[in-house]
Chains A and B, each alone.
Chain A
Amino acid sequence: MAATTTRPERLLSGSEAEAELARKFLHFMFLMREVEDRLERKLYRQGKILGGVYVGRGQEAIPVGAGLQTDPDDVLFPSHRDLALYFIRGVQLREVFAQYMGRVDGPTRGRDANMHMGDMKRKLVSIISAMAASVPVSAGAALGLKYKGSRNIVFVFFGDGATSRGDWHEGVNLAAVQKVPLVLVCNNNQYAYSTPLSKQMACENVADRAPGYGIPAEIADGNDVFAVYEAVGRAAAHARAGSGPYLVECKTFRMTGHSAHDPADYVPKHLWAEWAARDPILRLETLMLDRGWSDRKAIDDLYNGLRREVDEAIEWAENSPYPDPADVLANVYETPQPPR
């Protein structure tokens, strides 16, 4: 069984297809950054979002690189730091803001908060708050696709902290034994809330866990979107070929607190500076400019256009109504229950 490997530095061919892919990456990565900046640093602080806000600042390359390897009928299980996956699947900006503001036009119609969004029509499964609970469920979805003879596969996303939970291990083990088409994408952002990786696990890498389950794994630079894209591409090919689960550990850093209320002063200051220098959006911009895949003006135009879309979406969401309190009893069951 394949041992944990770190792939050598990529060699980009410089083709137009690559340039096009880079522009697509930048679109979704910047969009995620901009939306989450507004959520965490504007709307939350303005009191317009009452519940929690959990963002993936600095981790955007992971959902974008992985998400663009998915087929529209593959089933995705995003973690709470993978907002870009929703945009890749066609969830509208205004729906996301309405969700955070508890409005009726959010995907959960005010029933749940923040990143707890799902829609089976878009093959997006909503997380629950207990970390790693999605992993056995994703194994079952993959088992289901295999059962139905589908060529589609399942992608499940989680953080390093989630791999401490029993559900992760039970889910990965079952997926491995049943050889189901499952791609496991770990965003190893070094912290689980305030707990550093060294207190989360005694092995060096999350990928080190894979050989114990008899599945291949590799480590990718989670701040290099091309590296994520390529690693997840290999994982997806493995799963699509019927060879079973494959784990990709994306090394990254959570460039904010666990949640909007958390100043994260437990993080040593030098780490912020070190990881800021590896910001995935800046790196992609630099690559694109160096290769002549874009120019400053085109990038600024992209950003300004997306900012305007975000402005409009926020305005729309703020004008969206709250849910009707009379709706509180609906949808507990398929058939409505009589009130008590």
Chain B
Amino acid sequence: MATLTYLEAIRQGIWEEMERDPNVFLIGEDLGVYGGAFKVTAGMLEHFGEKRVVDTPICESAIVGAAIGAGLVGLRPVAEMQFADFITCGYDQIVNFAAKCRYRWGAAVPIVIRAPSGGGIHGGPFHSQNPEAWFVHTPGLKVITPATAYDAKGLIKAAIRDNDPCVFFEHKALYRRIKEDIPDGEYTVPIGKARVFREGRDLSIITYGAMVYVAQEAAEVLEKEGISVEIVDLRTLLPIDEETILESVRRTSKAILLHEDVLTGGIGGELAARITEKAFEYLDGPVLRIAAPDTPVPYSPPLEEAFLPNAEKVIAKARWLCQY
């Protein structure tokens, strides 16, 4: 058992897969000598060599495209976007090329695109976004959003072994903040399975990524007020684990969808619709959403604080919902 940060857990997961399968290789900007903008790939160039740690020019579209091409000829590339914000430059390759190959002509594209996302690091409008919903709207992709170090390792390993294109969002604010004991042995975490992060009776907060910890902070305060909160950590947004969500809501009869992504068009709206379609008779109150406002992510600390969902906002909505 070793204590690893979220970042170290991702590194260890990739490392183990590279040791296990010689077809796994890394491609992206500043991965090798520099070890990646966040140091996720530190030490890999020295250990695995230039062939397996490919530093590219600044070309997100070609990074994704090249990963697709290498995937088509039998390799398992892990591509890195330096920040999830720059994934827009490779968007066509992801949603039109990678996502549609299997459906159109039966070709597997076994690639992983890693994308450090999220705010809370004073990164401003182009280093803080949560663009996961764009990809959730694209059949053919898998969208993965781990919150814990255990899951981050298990899911990156599962994504590398998966035969479909996976977009893997790593929350930057968790990289060094989250530390956990990671078992020594080999394990993976299944893609498409949510888990109950905290059990409760009165209210379900369905969330993912860094917001799991915001929900947890709120739940601890609410617990003292006699409100028992259940937290569902989605872990994967596409395919979505509808069963775990519905099962939780049927028990608690109240649901809050919480995400750091902006409100309009976020995954919360989709899940609210599914809950009302499939668990309406179990509900004892409106399905609520808590999300960032519909603005770019601002830079200055008081502005960013106002932008990001936090425990106070969750507590206020939860109290209101419980009195409904």
Number of A-B contacts (CB under 8 A): 142
Quick one: given A112-B104, A126-B105, A332-B102, are A133 and B96 in contact (CB under 8 Å)?
yes
User: In the complex, A143 Cα to B32 Cα: how many Å?
Assistant: 17
Which of A126, A129, A174 meets B66, CB within 8 Å? A174
Q: Size of chain B's interface in residues, with CB distance under 8 A? A: 42
Does A72 touch B at the CB level, under 8 Å? no
Contact (Cβ within 8 A) B25 A147: yes
Q: Which of B5-13, B67-75, B229-237, B244-252 contacts A (4 or more CB under 8 A)?
A: B67-75
Contact (Cβ within 8 A) B66 A143: yes
User: In the complex, A8 Cα to B132 Cα: how many Å?
Assistant: 55
Report chain B residues within 8 Å CB of A129. 96
Contact with B along A125-140 (1 / 0, CB 8 A): 1101110010111111
Does B305 touch A at the CB level, under 8 Å? no
Q: Tell me which residues from 172 to 198 in chain A have a Cβ below 8 Å from any Cβ of chain B.
A: 173-174, 177-178
Q: Size of chain A's interface in residues, with CB distance under 8 A? A: 43
Quick one: given A130-B96, A331-B106, are A173 and B73 in contact (CB under 8 Å)?
no
Rounded to whole Å, the gap between the CB of A144 and the closest CB of chain B is 4
Contact (Cβ within 8 A) B105 A145: no
Does A11 touch B at the CB level, under 8 Å? no
Rounded to whole Å, the gap between the CB of A68 and the closest CB of chain B is 22
Contact (Cβ within 8 A) B93 A141: no
Quick one: given A140-B67, A143-B54, A170-B62, are A333 and B104 in contact (CB under 8 Å)?
no
Which of A141, A331, A332 meets B73, CB within 8 Å? A141
User: In the complex, A119 Cα to B107 Cα: how many Å?
Assistant: 7
Contact with A along B48-80 (1 / 0, CB 8 A): 000100101101011111111111111101000
Rounded to whole Å, the gap between the CB of B63 and the closest CB of chain A is 8
Residues of A near any B CB (own CB < 8 A):
75, 107-108, 111-112, 116-120, 125-126, 128-130, 133, 135-145, 147-148, 154, 166-167, 170-171, 173-174, 177-178, 331-334, 337
Residues of B near any A CB (own CB < 8 A):
25, 51, 54, 56-57, 59, 61-75, 77, 92-93, 96-97, 100-108, 139-140, 142, 162-164, 239
26 A–B pairs (Cβ distance < 8 Å), ordered by A: A111-B103, A111-B104, A116-B105, A118-B104, A125-B72, A130-B96, A133-B92, A133-B93, A133-B96, A136-B61, A136-B64, A138-B69, A140-B71, A143-B66, A147-B25, A148-B73, A167-B65, A171-B66, A174-B56, A178-B56, A331-B103, A332-B139, A333-B102, A333-B140, A334-B108, A334-B163
